[in-house]
Chains A and B, each alone.
Chain A
């Protein structure tokens, strides 16, 4: 435990690491604000923000037919008069919400009609998926295709009972769940700190001194691995927290915390059914796991260099390769290539956002489940190799000839 505390302090609880963390946190918050300002008209248009607030009071909460009718009563006439583009373009029209017909229509379409339609249709869409999946299951069972039958049974189970019963503002979550900038920042900090793990001991010739002590071999490497584990989990979790607070501050996330994750448009085909807040927590933990796996690889690489620069470059190269592979296959149906790539575990909406399976000995396993197991295996393998390949004292090993 003492060695762990010392390694944590020596490697990570250092002024340059804290300085980088502070600077990157500020940078992250600035980027969140820029993203929100760029994507949400409620941030930049005061009239829209006021109208949305007023209208939101009318439609938020439980979705009822009365609310839908009221919304359509307001929206349909606007749709008719703007469809042929003959409505006046004046911006001071009496009886409109924002002063302009087109602006009214766009606002209602974007913030009320479209999400309401999606929420309302969710139950029906899910029921269709369940019905088709059960039909497929029956067909494949008849044909003797057991894997396909199991897969369709799983799809039916996942989509069964899906419904969005409340109308809530989800724009903040849409931006939060597609925000990746903080992952790059976390990666840079991890690269910087982890690539020095072993190189630093070598640079100041402490490796020899340590190996000549009873606790300087495997015990010391284990302490390093434990300290690196804490650090690689803490940094992404910190940025996930900052992201949540940042977006929460500028786009009021709390409104949609209790909605199911599939209520958000980009996650409508998600294979999980928890709340948005719950999903964000799971996503943050999964992301941390992806960083941990990569972190252990960086740590292993750091054993190779006498100076930190080479491991830093090699680590960055590994991440770029993962990113290139993630961009190439992350949006494809190559589930195995996705699951095996830590990049997809970090940018995990690629995994959670789709219901797809990997065939493991005839059992359909969800891609995100396989990805978590594979990342854990990758991290453990890298850690075991770091322990195995790390400096050893020949006397301790008992192999002195």
Chain B
């Protein structure tokens, strides 16, 4: 499946939330990275039809989504940002309700819900009220509902926000598992969410597409921009106040700084292998490089 965004723009009170965004997404996980307010949620809300773009169009396998209408909505599974769902519904009831909204026959919906609850490891919580679930469990219910119709396109908006590290890893693995033969658009500002599972990363900044490629290619693009330097424990760090420091670690040999910079930040600095976090910082740290 190919989703094509063509020159999508959206502004609120003369301020662009998205500006001339064009990109093509294929099967696999696409990480939509950006700082808060970069336009990720606007892009997603336009894709799922909650918002109307000022200009541009979206096609799926060449067909304009506006001509597909409901047919397109039937193809997507969506997990919005910070969902709470209905606290007084049990997990089973909630999935049954979502099946009804998605037009899945009752028996088929229940069978599918059982399968998915097993996959997301929530079979034991089937009869629990949603209000009694932890944040992580609720997000797993969220991805289960998104997967109910076995959608060709899975859209997740900040799905790991507020989760503890263990739940975040568990959730990441679930996304990876569900990405087989479908397009997963995962919007996040947490780099580690997409670093290991995304086939492609799209970086948005102030509503504009900054770059789009596989994580490895993006990392290679930052080669020569990442440095490490180890300084004595009592060294003056003031000269680095304006630098983009991606990591600072105190050890036996002193303080090890990982710095994103075009120029060598310190005579003792040595080049380091960039990771996706460095790529992100290269674009968003301070005012970007």
Known: A10-B97, A215-B101, A395-B72. A206 touches B49 (CB 8 A): no
Known: A3-B101, A209-B80. A14 touches B88 (CB 8 A): yes
Q: Once bound together, how far apart are the Cα atoms of A395 and B89, in whole Å?
A: 29
Answer yes or no: B165 CB below 8 A from chain A CBs.
no
In the complex the two chains form, is B102's CB within 8 Å of A394's CB? no
Chain B interface size range: 35 or more
Q: Hey, which chain B residues are within 8 Å of A10, CB to CB? A: 86, 89, 97
Q: Once bound together, how far apart are the Cα atoms of A400 and B50, in whole Å?
A: 10
Residue of A nearest to B148 (CB): A213
Answer yes or no: A398 CB below 8 A from chain B CBs.
yes
Main secondary structure of the interface of A (DSSP, over half): helix
In the complex the two chains form, is A393's CB within 8 Å of B73's CB? yes
Known: A216-B101, A400-B65. A394 touches B80 (CB 8 A): no
Q: Once bound together, how far apart are the Cα atoms of A396 and B87, in whole Å?
A: 28
In the complex the two chains form, is A213's CB within 8 Å of B86's CB? no
List residues of B (52-101) whose CB comes within 8 Å of A's CBs: 52-58, 64-70, 72-74, 76, 78-89, 96-98, 100-101
Answer yes or no: A26 CB below 8 A from chain B CBs.
no
Q: Once bound together, how far apart are the Cα atoms of A211 and B46, in whole Å?
A: 12
Q: Once bound together, how far apart are the Cα atoms of A401 and B52, in whole Å?
A: 7
Residue of B nearest to A14 (CB): B88
**B174–chain A nearest beta-carbon distance, Å:** 18
Answer yes or no: A2 CB below 8 A from chain B CBs.
yes
Q: Once bound together, how far apart are the Cα atoms of A209 and B103, in whole Å?
A: 14
Answer yes or no: A117 CB below 8 A from chain B CBs.
no
In the complex the two chains form, is B73's CB within 8 Å of A209's CB? no
Contact with B along A207-234 (1 / 0, CB 8 A): 0111111111000100000000000000
Answer yes or no: B51 CB below 8 A from chain A CBs.
yes
The A-B contact count (CB < 8 A) is: 105
Known: A214-B101, A214-B102. A394 touches B51 (CB 8 A): yes
The number of residues on chain A lying at the interface, defined by a beta carbon within 8 Å of a beta carbon of chain B, is 29
Answer yes or no: A19 CB below 8 A from chain B CBs.
no
In the complex the two chains form, is A395's CB within 8 Å of B66's CB? yes
Answer yes or no: B289 CB below 8 A from chain A CBs.
no
List residues of B (176-191) whose CB comes within 8 Å of A's CBs: none
**A394–chain B nearest beta-carbon distance, Å:** 5
Known: A212-B50, A215-B102, A393-B50. A398 touches B66 (CB 8 A): yes
Residue of A nearest to B54 (CB): A401
Answer yes or no: B48 CB below 8 A from chain A CBs.
yes
Q: Enumerate the 6 nearest inter-chain pairs by beta-carbon distance, A residue then B residue, closest first.
A: A395-B49, A204-B84, A400-B66, A393-B49, A2-B100, A213-B101
* Given A204-B87, A213-B98, A401-B56: 16 more A-B contacts, CB < 8 Å: A6-B96, A6-B97, A10-B89, A15-B88, A204-B83, A209-B78, A209-B83, A212-B78, A214-B74, A394-B49, A394-B50, A394-B51, A398-B69, A400-B49, A401-B55, A401-B57
Which chain B residues have a beta carbon within 8 Å of chain A's beta carbons? 45-46, 48-58, 64-70, 72-74, 76, 78-89, 96-98, 100-103, 106, 145
